[in-house]
A and B are shown apart, each in its own frame.
Chain A
Amino acid sequence: MAVTKIANPTDVALSFAVTRWGLALAILLAALCFTGSTRGFAQGAAGAGAELDAPKKDVLAIPIVLAREKRDKPLPLSLLDLPPTDDGIAGAQLGIKDNNTTGQFVNQEFILDVVEDSDPDKLIKEIKAKVDAGAHFVLTDVAPTTLLKLADAVGEKEVLLINYGSADDGLREENCRQHVMHTAPTRAMLADALAQYLVWKKWRRWFLVLGPNEDDKLFADALRRAAKRFGAKIVEERTFNYEIGNRRADGGFEQVQQQIPTFTQEAPDYDVLVVADEGNLFGDYLPYRTWDARPVAGTAGLVATSWHPAIEMWGGTQFQNRFKRLANRNMRPLDYNAWMATRIIGEAATRKNSGSFSDLTPFIKSPEFALSAFKGVRLSLRDWNGQLRQPVPILSPKLLVSVSPQPGFLHQFTELDTLGVDKPETKCKAYTQ
C-alpha cells in the first residue's frame, strides 16, 4: 500500500484538514467566513491579489481521495503504449493544480490523497477509513466489482464516488448506484462515436475481430449494438485466440506478417475491419497486414477515445502544455478522465463557495452544472445514471480525424445523448438526483 499526498508546496501544512477534526474546523470556518456570495470570497482575496499571501486560517481545505487498484495486466504491444506508473494520477494532480489556481482567489485549497493497493479489500478498508475521517469525494480507478463493493461499503456515508477508470456499461446501468458518477466514457459511448463516423463515411459492412478476453467481448457487444443502432452490418466475425507471450522478441515480425493475412483471409466483402482488443495485445498487428486492403478501426487504427496527446482544439494546446510541464509526458485518456473528475469537484466548490457534501453533490447533479473540458461544448451529467455526457474524439494514431456525434445524428434534447445508453433505454434505477 502506498499513500501519497499532494498539495501546493506552500500549503502542505493544510493537509491537517484531512482529519475529521480539521475538516469540521474548516467547514465551520467556511460557514463563518463565507456566508455571502462569491463576492464575500472575492473580497477576502481582495488586496492580497493573486499572491497567496492571504491569511491561511481563512483557507478552506477540500480533500479529494484517489483510489487506485493495482492490477496485473499484460503489457500492450507497442513501446509507445506502455502505461506510465502515474497514469491517471498525473491528470488528477493537474486538476488539483487548476483547482488551486482558482482556489487562491476564493480561499480554497484542494488536497489530493492517493491510495493504491493491489488487494481490493485492503483498498476498500483504507478508503473507508478516509471517508470515516471526513473525506467526501473519492475518485476511483478500480475494477467494476471493486467499485461496487466500495460503493456499498461507504453507501451510508456522505460520499460521492467518481469513476474515472472504468468504461463498464453495467456500472451505469443495472449496477448503477445513487452516489457513483462517471467521467470515463462507456464502451457503448465509444462504440457509438466510432460507428457514427464509419456510417458517415459509408463504411457500413464491418468485419469484426475480437480478442478472447472478457473486456474484448464487452467491447464487441458495444460494437454490435452500435452497428444495429446506426445502420451498419457485421458481415463477418472472428475471434483472435492467442497465447499472451512476451510483448517483444528480437525479430518477431516475420511470424506476424504470415499470420495476419491468413487469419483475415476469405472474408465476405467488407468495408472496414473493426477490432475489439482493449488490452492492445494484438489489434495493432492488423493495420497493413489484412488479406484484403481495408482500413482498421476499433481499438487499433482509427479509435474513439476521450483524449489523445494530439488534440489541440478548443484551447487544448495550453491544456496539453500544462500537463506536460507537470508530468513530463503526454496526457493519456485516463489522465484526462481523472482531470475531469477533479475539476467537477473544483468547479462545484467554486460556484457554491463550499466544500461540503450537501452543498456540492446536489449542484453537481443539477442541470445547472456545466463543466468546461476542452471539448468545445459544456459537459454535464446524465440525470438518469450519473454519466458525464461528452463529445468523443475519433483519431488516427497521430491526428484528430473527427469528433462525434456526427452531423445528422439528431436527438430530441442533446445530440451528445446519441452516444451511449439513452434515458428511455436505461436500466438504472438506483441513481437519483
Chain B
Amino acid sequence: MRSTAGLISMLGVCAALMLPTPAARAYTAFVTNEKDNTVSVIDTDKLKVIKTFKVGNRPRGIILSKDGKWLIICASDDNIIQVYDAKTFKFIKSLPSGPDPELLILHPSGNPLYVANEDDNLVTVVDLKQGKILTDIPVGVEPEGMGMSPDGKVLVNTSETTNMAHFISTETNKTFDNVLVDARPRVAIFNKAGTQLWVSSEIGGTVTVINPEDRKVIGKVRFEIPGINKEAIQPVGVRITADDKKAFVALGPANRVAIVDTETLKVEKYLLVGQRVWQLGFTPDYKLLFTTNGTSNDVSVIDVERQKVIKSIRTGRYPWGIAVAPF
C-alpha cells in the first residue's frame, strides 16, 4: 500500500516536471524577515520559497544592484548595509551606513546608494564600489522613505516625525524644498513619467500626490473600507504600474491593498491580503505584485491584470522588505 502510494506520488512529480512551463517568466523574489534575520528566496513561477538564508540582524530595506548581481540589505540592528551575491546568496561585503539604516535606493546609473538612517536624521550617500560614505544630508526627524526621480536628478526622503517630503538635488546633495504631508510618511515613489510623486502617510491615513516640477500637492488619496476602523487604515507601501495608470497602496493593519486610479486619485478596488501589509514589489514584467504581510508571516501574490490575490506564500517571521530580480 505504502509503496503504491509512493509510486503514485512519484508519478505525480514526474508528470508535474513534464508539464510545459507557463507563459509567465520566472523571476526570483527576495523577502527580508525582520524577526528571523533571514531572507526568503521565492521562485515567482512556482510561487514557492526555494531557499532561506541567514543575513545580519533585523533585515529591513532590500534592493538589487543595477546589474542584478548584488542584493543590498539594511541590517538595521547591526547599523550596516550588507551585500550578498543574488545567485549564490554568499556574503560579499558590508557597506558603512549611519545608525539604524531602514530603506535605501540606488541612483539610476547604479551608483551611489542613498540610505535613510532612522536614528540620526540623516540620509547617507554611499559609494557602492568603494564601499565608503561620500556625504550625509541632514533631513527631518526619523528619515524613512526614499524616492528617486526617473532622471536621477531628484532624491526624495520622507521623515516620519517631521512629516515632510524633503527634495534633495543629487548634484549638490542638498535639500532644495520640503513639502509637508500627513502624519508619519513612510514611502515615496515617482511614477515612470516623473510627473507624480506619491507619498504615503501611515498615521495620517492618506497618500499625498505631489507634482515634482513645482512641488505643489496635486491631491490626496483617501481610503474608506466598510467595517474597518479608520485608525487601522495605515498606508505604507506604494507601487505604480508600468503604464503609470494604477497605483497599488498597502494599507497596513487594514490587511488590504488598494488599487488607485492615478488620474482621478480614487480607489477602485480593495484586495484582501495578509495581516499588516507594508511593502510591495512588482515582478520585472509587472504581471505579479508581492506584498509583505508582517504579522501573518507570509506574502500575498496579486495578479496585476486580473486584480486578484492568487496565492499566499509562507515566509519567515515578520516579512518586511521585498526585491524581485530579473532572473
Contacts and interface: CB of A to CB of B under 8 A. Distances in A.
Bound pair (A, B): yes
B215 A39 contact: yes
Interface stretch (A43-51, A113-121, A192-200, A248-256): A43-51
A39 B229 contact: no
Contacts of B140: 101-102, 105
B183 A105 contact: no
A372 interface: yes
A388 to B, nearest CB: 14
B183 A414 contact: no
Interface string A358-393: 000000000000111000111000000000000000
A422 to B, nearest CB: 16
B215 A42 contact: yes
A33 to B, nearest CB: 16
A143 to B, nearest CB: 32
B121 A102 contact: no
Contact of A42 (B163, B178, B204, B229): B178
Contacts of B141: 98, 101-102, 322
A315 interface: yes
In this complex, the member of A98, A318, A376 whose beta carbon has the largest number of chain B beta carbons within 10 angstroms is: A318
A351 interface: yes
A370 B164 contact: no
Contact of B205 (A50, A102, A378, A415): A378
B138 A50 contact: yes
A102 B164 contact: yes
B229 A351 contact: no
Nearest to A351: B180
Nearest to A353: B180
Contact of B229 (A101, A318, A415): A415
A101 B162 contact: yes
B182 interface: yes
Interface residues of B, number: 39
Contacts of B166: 50, 105
A105 B161 CA distance: 13
| Contact residues of A: prevailing secondary structure | helix
Contacts of A351: 180
Contacts of B234: 377
Given A102-B162, A315-B160, A378 B178 contact: no
| Contact residues of B: prevailing secondary structure | loop
Interface in B242-271: 253
A46 B176 contact: yes
Interface residues of A, number: 32
Interface in A32-68: 38-39, 42-43, 45-47, 49-51
Contacts of B229: 414-415
In this complex, the member of A42, A43, A98, A414 whose beta carbon has the largest number of chain B beta carbons within 10 angstroms is: A42
Contacts of A350: 163, 180
Interface string A396-417: 0000000000000000001110
Interface string B1-32: 00000000000000000000000000000000
Contacts of B137: 50
A106 interface: yes
Contacts of A414: 229-231
A341 to B, nearest CB: 15
A264 interface: no
Contacts of B184: 315, 372
A98 B159 CA distance: 11
B119 interface: yes
A433 interface: no
A370 B162 contact: no
Contacts of B298: none
A321 interface: yes
B175 interface: yes
B119 A321 contact: yes
Given A102-B141, A351-B180, A378 B215 contact: no
A102 B181 CA distance: 12
B229 to A, nearest CB: 6
Contacts of A42: 177-180, 215
Nearest to B205: A378
A38 B205 CA distance: 20
A347 B232 CA distance: 21
Given A47-B176, A50-B175, A51-B138, A102 B231 contact: no
Contacts of A50: 137-139, 166, 174-175
A93 to B, nearest CB: 14
Interface string A124-153: 000000000000000000000000000000
A300 to B, nearest CB: 31
B222 to A, nearest CB: 13
Nearest to A416: B231
A64 B142 CA distance: 23
A47 B216 CA distance: 17
A382 to B, nearest CB: 14
A288 B317 CA distance: 34
Interface string A16-42: 000000000000000000000011001
B121 A378 contact: no
B118 A105 contact: no
Given A370-B204, A372-B203, A46 B177 contact: yes
A415 B100 CA distance: 33
A46 B175 CA distance: 7
B121 A45 contact: no
B183 A39 contact: no
Contacts of B176: 46-47, 49
A351 B164 CA distance: 11
B119 A45 contact: no
Contacts of B100: 317-318, 321
Contacts of A321: 99-100, 119
A381 to B, nearest CB: 14
B231 A378 contact: yes
Contacts of A318: 100, 118-119, 142
In this complex, the member of B138, B139, B140, B175 whose beta carbon has the largest number of chain A beta carbons within 10 angstroms is: B175
Given A39-B179, A377-B203, 7 more contacts: A101-B121, A101-B141, A102-B163, A321-B100, A322-B119, A347-B163, A378-B183
17 contacts: A43-B177, A49-B175, A50-B139, A50-B174, A98-B141, A101-B140, A102-B140, A102-B164, A105-B166, A315-B184, A317-B100, A318-B119, A318-B142, A322-B119, A347-B183, A376-B253, A416-B231
